[in-house]
Amino acid sequence: MSASTNNLTEKTALELIKLQEKGEVKAEAITVAFLESIKAKDSKVKSFLHLDAEKAIATARTIDSKRAKGEKLGILAGVPIAVKDNICIKGTITTCGSKMLEHFVPPYDAHAIEKLLQADAVILGKTNLDEFAMGSSTENSAYQTTRNPWNLDCIPGGSSGGSAAAVAACESPISLGSDTGGSIRQPASLCGIVGLKPTYGRVSRYGLVAYASSLDQIGTFSHDVADTALLLNVIAGKDDRDSTCTSVEVPDYLANLEKPITPLTIGVANEYFAGGLDAEVEKSVREALKVLEGQGAVIKQISLPHSPYAIATYYLVATAEASSNLSRYDGVHYGHRSEAHKNLIDMYCKSRGEGFGAEVKRRIMLGTYALSSGYVDAYYLKALKVRRLIRNDFDAAFAECDVVIGPTTPTCAFKVGEKSSDPLAMYLSDIYTISCNLAGLPGISIPCGFNSKNLPIGLQLLGAPFSEEKLLRIARMYEKETTWHLKRAQVS
C-alpha cells in the first residue's frame, strides 16, 4: 500500500475519488476499509442500526468493473455513505429508531437515495437517531445510545447522532441526516464535523419519514466544506413527488468554492451571545470571527429580537405537525399492531401506546393539546404569528448582511444521562439552531475549536433562503485559514 492509500478511512470523499481516478485504490478496497473500521469501533460508538456489508461490497465491485471498462461513472463513484434510519431505502429495514417500525421494509427509495445510487455512491447502512428524529442526544432511540467519538462518555448530539458519529469516527466519509430543529447542525458541532441543513425546499423530502413537514429537511455530514458541496450537488433539486421542493436553479456548489466573498458583511446577533453560552465556546466563536475579519469581512452588530421565543414557537409548531403526521401509525397499514385489543379504536390506542417511546408520546400529546378545540388560537395560531416575526427578523438581517454567524450550540457535548430526565433542559440545547428551521433558511455548522476537555466546538453560519453557494464559500474562507477540519477522533 502506498503512502497515499494509508489511513483510507481518514480521507475525505473528494480524496477517495481522486485516488480511484489515479488508479491507486479500488472502490472495493475503500468499502472494505470502512467496513473494517465499523467492525473495530462500532461496538463502542454505536452509530449504526443496520449494516448492508454484502450489498455495499457488491456495489463497489460493480463500480470497479464499470471503471475498468471505461464506462461513465457518477460523481460519488465508490464513495461510501451512511444514511440516517428515517430515510427510506427500498428493501432495507427502516426503523426510525422506533419499536413502532421494528420490522418496516420500505417498498421504495427516497428521492435522495435515488440520487445517491445514480451518483454511484456505496451505501454502507442505516444510522441511529432519536425516535422519529425527536431529540438532541440519540438517547431517545428505542435501540441504542450513540456515543461521541471524541469522548465515549458523552452524547454525540441528535437527532442525527448516528450519522454525525459515523463520520467523526471515520466509519464513513460522508453521511445523510435530517434537520427539523437543529438535528444536523447540533450533532455536527458536538462531533467536530461539518453539517449542512439546506434551505427548506432545496432537497426533496420524498421518502423522508415525516416528523414536522414544514420544518423537516434532508442534509449532509462531512469532514470538510468541499465534501458538503459535493454531496449537496448530488441531492439538491426539483422532485415532483414533493410539492414543496422548488425549481430554484441548483448551481454547482463546488465550482466557485475557493473564491472568497468580497465584500463580506457578517451579522453578529447579540441574542446569540446571551446568558447560558459557555465561556470556552464563546471564545472560540469570537476568534473565528476575527479570522474572517482578517480576510476583510466587516462585522455588523445586529438584533434578532424574537429569537428568545424560538424554542417555545418550535415546540408548538413541530409537535402540532407531529401529532398529525404520526397519526398514520395506526397498526393497520404497517408498523406495530397490539395483540390484545377489544375493538378497532382499542387496537389503535394500544398499538400506539406500545409502539411509541416516551418522548414521541410527549410530543404527540403536546401537539394534540395545542390543536385541540379551545386551545388552538392561544397556542398553535399564536406560535404561527411569532414564527412570522422570527422570519421577519432574519429578512431584516439579510437586507444588510451576507451571513449571520454565531455558536451552533451553547455548550460542548454533555454526558450521557445528564439531561435525559429533563425534557425542557434538553430542548434548550437547540436554542441557536431552531430559528433557522422556523424561517426555512439554510444553516451550516463547521468545526472552530476544542474546549479544555478536548471536545469540539461548532460555528454556525445562517444564510438567506437558497444562498447555499455563498454560505459554503464563506464557510470555506474560514476553513482554509484553520486546521480544525483536519483533526480526526481516535476511538479507543
Partner 1 sequence: MAITTDQIKWISHLARLELKPDELSHAAEQLTSILNYINLLQQVNTDNIEPLAHPLDVSNVFREDILKASISVEEALSNAPNRQADFYGVPAIFE
Is the Cβ of residue 13 or residue 310 nearer to partner 1 in the bound state?
310
Omega of the bond prior to 149 within 30 degrees of 0, cis?
Answer: no
The three-point CA angle 46-129-95 to 5° equals 100
167: nearest Cα among 456, 464, 476: 456
The least CB distance from residue 460 to partner 1, in Å, is: 18
| Strands 194-197 and 443-450, bridge-based pairing | antiparallel
Is the Cβ of residue 327 or residue 454 nearer to partner 1 in the bound state?
327
The least CB distance from residue 331 to partner 1, in Å, is: 6
The three-point CA angle 305-307-391 to 5° equals 85
**Helix, strand, coil share (%) of the chain residues, nearest 5:** 45, 15, 45
The least CB distance from residue 252 to partner 1, in Å, is: 23
* Amino acid making up residue 23: G
Is the Cβ of residue 379 or residue 478 nearer to partner 1 in the bound state?
379
CA distance 171 to 37: 5
Furthest C-alpha separation in the chain: 70
* Residues with a known catalytic role: 84, 159, 183
Query: Where is 48: in which H helix or E strand?
Result: strand 48-51
141: nearest Cα among 85, 192, 88: 85
Is the Cβ of residue 373 or residue 483 nearer to partner 1 in the bound state?
373
Is the Cβ of residue 5 or residue 244 nearer to partner 1 in the bound state?
244
Paired with 100 in beta bridges are none
The least CB distance from residue 201 to partner 1, in Å, is: 5
The least CB distance from residue 58 to partner 1, in Å, is: 22
Residue ranges that bind partner 1, judged by CB under 8 A: 103-105, 107-108, 200-201, 214, 240, 243-244, 246, 306, 308-309, 311-313, 315-316, 323, 327, 330-337, 341, 343-345, 347-350, 352-354, 356, 358, 361-362, 364-366, 368-369, 372, 379, 381-389, 391, 423-424, 427, 438-440, 465
CA distance 241 to 221: 24
Is the Cβ of residue 306 or residue 485 nearer to partner 1 in the bound state?
306
The least CB distance from residue 426 to partner 1, in Å, is: 11
Please report, to the nearest 10 degrees, the dihedral formed by the alpha carbons of residues 277, 283, 289, 295 taken in order: -170
